[in-house]
Every structure is written in C-alpha cells, then in structure tokens.
Homo-oligomer: A and B are copies of this chain.
C-alpha cells in the first residue's frame, strides 16, 4: 500500500508521535510505503511530499510541532480538490490518506472521502472537544502545563496576598480549565459552558479571605463569559490607533475583581505555552495508538472513518459523526469541581 499522511491546523503535542507511528506500523507491520505531504492539504494539492522511512521519523516521538508542517487551506481550493479527488488519489498513487487534524481538518477529510478519496482521519485538538472520542492527544499536555503554572502561582499568590486570574485555552469547551483548575486547586473555575456569576465569585473569594486565607486563584477558560450585564469590564481598552486591546476575559476579569474587591488582582494569560513542546507520556501513547490503528483501518479499507478512544480501546467512528457535535463539559462534571476549594 502507499499511504499518505499530513498534519493540518494548529500545533498540538503528539502530532509527530502519530506520524512516527503511522510510518512504523505501515513499514514494519505491512511493508507499505509512506509519503508525508508538506503543509497540510496544500502539499496534497500541490504534490509536495517526501517519502518517510524509519530514519526520517527517528527521534521525533517526544518532539513538539510537526515535521511535515501545517497550513490552513482556503475553502475554495478544498472544494476544487473535492471536484477531482479520485483523480488526485490516482495521480499520487495513494491507497490511503491519513490526515491528522481538528474539526476543520476532519470536515475537509469527510468531504474528500465523500468525493472518493480513501481517507482515515486522526482527530487532534488540545481542547478535547470532539464528541466521538473520550480524549484527544495534546489535551493532557495542555492540562499539565496549566497545572504547573497554577502550582507555581499558588505559593506566590500567598506571599503577595492577592487574587490571581489564570486564563487557559478553551474557546467553546472548558475542559482545560476544568481539569487544570481541579488539578491545580483553583478556587474558582469558569467555563464557556455556563455564564458565570461575578457576584458569587466575589463572595467566594471574600469568604476565603474572611477565613484567614491570604490569596485566591481563579482559573478561567478563554471562552468563559459572565451572565449578561453583570460585569462592568465588558469591553477591553482602546489603544492610540483605535484598536481594542486587553479584551480577553482573563484581563477583564482581573480588572473587575480588583475594582470590586479592592484587592490586587493579576491576570496570567498562559496562551500558546499550552500547545507546544514535548507531549506527556499519556499523549504520546494515545497518539501512537491512533497512528497504529489508522494504518490498520486503511488495510481494512475502513475509509471515511476516524480513530477514537472509548474507555481503554481504540475504535473507528464515521467522520460524519465525529464532527457533528462539540463535546462540552456537562453539568455533573462542573459540580465535581465546585466544592474544591
């Protein structure tokens, strides 16, 4: 078999582990040939690829980033590709394509699959918000990075007697905030899934200080927002060019808390630190298993599907299903985190 692999979308720890696993399994398990397309779907359309042998994936298991590069593809070019998907596969001699990516990539994968390309997807998102799989690789690493930051901030917040607001990733789903907040012992955890009550948050913090505690740490997902009309800092600030700055919820919430509580409140915006670098062991194992099973799926001609974790097992689910609904934090998970202060 001749198998193509590509990575698309943003960075995510574990991408290289998937690529390496695809190459290992295909070459040593099946005697396949593997080619890697450069810069995501762009490389596919432009026939830019290189052969991947064992040496080419040596030493990349623990490395962040992707050796294949990644780039966004305009919708127009994707549609065009779908128009001649079978021909493209034939020209490239592709028996299977394994695109690794997030929601957008998987949607593109589904479209190409529907158009006749033999595709097996591998889901990727540090946000952990794909419903068809229990977990995605990259998420554990992101939670680990955020937790370490919370660990460090807790001792320093105590010494300085202040409120720390830590903004973590999660635009539509609050998984990173939930799990890093629990693991790092945050006193408040604010998620996109449920508008937060600024009054209740302030009351909790004041109650802590009243109990003699000298600091509080709030972990807020970038997509969290207050119940409508309750927060004064609803907007950012305006710079000299008229651009709005300082608009993120972490910055605004710190300002709000300082304003309301009369205590120093400092924002820490972790940002892209969460999505780069060496993956955790958990993410490397999951990524490796996804790669292995993607190759097996190709050999079983299970096209139009993607790999997914269910309990301890890797299964295959239709790509259509995979991107149907966002997996958000359910209410019972929020409850678990509530009494943790």
Identify the A interface with B (CB < 8 A): 10-11, 21, 24-25, 28-29, 54, 61-66, 69-70, 134-135, 140, 143-149, 151-160, 164, 179-180, 182-185, 211, 232-233, 235-241, 243-246, 251, 255, 259, 266-278, 280-282, 284-285, 288-289, 292-293, 310-312, 336, 338-341
Beyond A134-B311, A180-B281, is A156–B65 a contact (Cβ under 8 Å)?
yes
Please measure, in the bound complex, the distance between the C-alpha atom of A29 and the C-alpha atom of B337, giving whole angstroms. Answer: 11
Contact B240 A245 (CB under 8 A): no
Report the minimal beta-carbon distance from A229 to chain B, rounded to whole angstroms. Answer: 14
Chain B residues whose C-beta falls within 8 Å of the C-beta of A236 in the assembled complex: 237, 239, 245-246
Q: Which residue of B lies closest to A271 (CB)?
A: B268
Cα–Cα, bound, A24→B158 (Å): 20
Known: A11-B160, A65-B158. 10 other contacts (CB 8 A): A62-B151, A63-B155, A147-B281, A151-B278, A152-B275, A153-B276, A156-B276, A157-B276, A233-B239, A268-B270
- Separation in Å of the A139 CB from the closest CB of chain B? 10
Residues of B within 8 A of A280 (CB): 144, 280, 282
Is the CB–CB distance between B277 and A152 below 8 Å?
yes
Q: In the complex, which of the residues B145, B282, B311 contacts A152, with contact meaning CB atoms closer than 8 Å?
A: B145
Q: How far is the CB of A57 from chain B (nearest CB, A)?
A: 10
Residues from chain B with a CB closer than 8 A to the CB of A281 are 140, 143-144, 146-147, 179-180, 183-184
Cβ of A210 to closest chain B Cβ, rounded Å: 13
Whether B25 and A151, one on each chain, are in contact in the complex, defined by CB atoms closer than 8 angstroms, is: no
Most buried by B among A151, A155, A255: A155
Q: Which of these, B11, B240, B243, B245, contacts A159 with CB under 8 Å?
A: B11
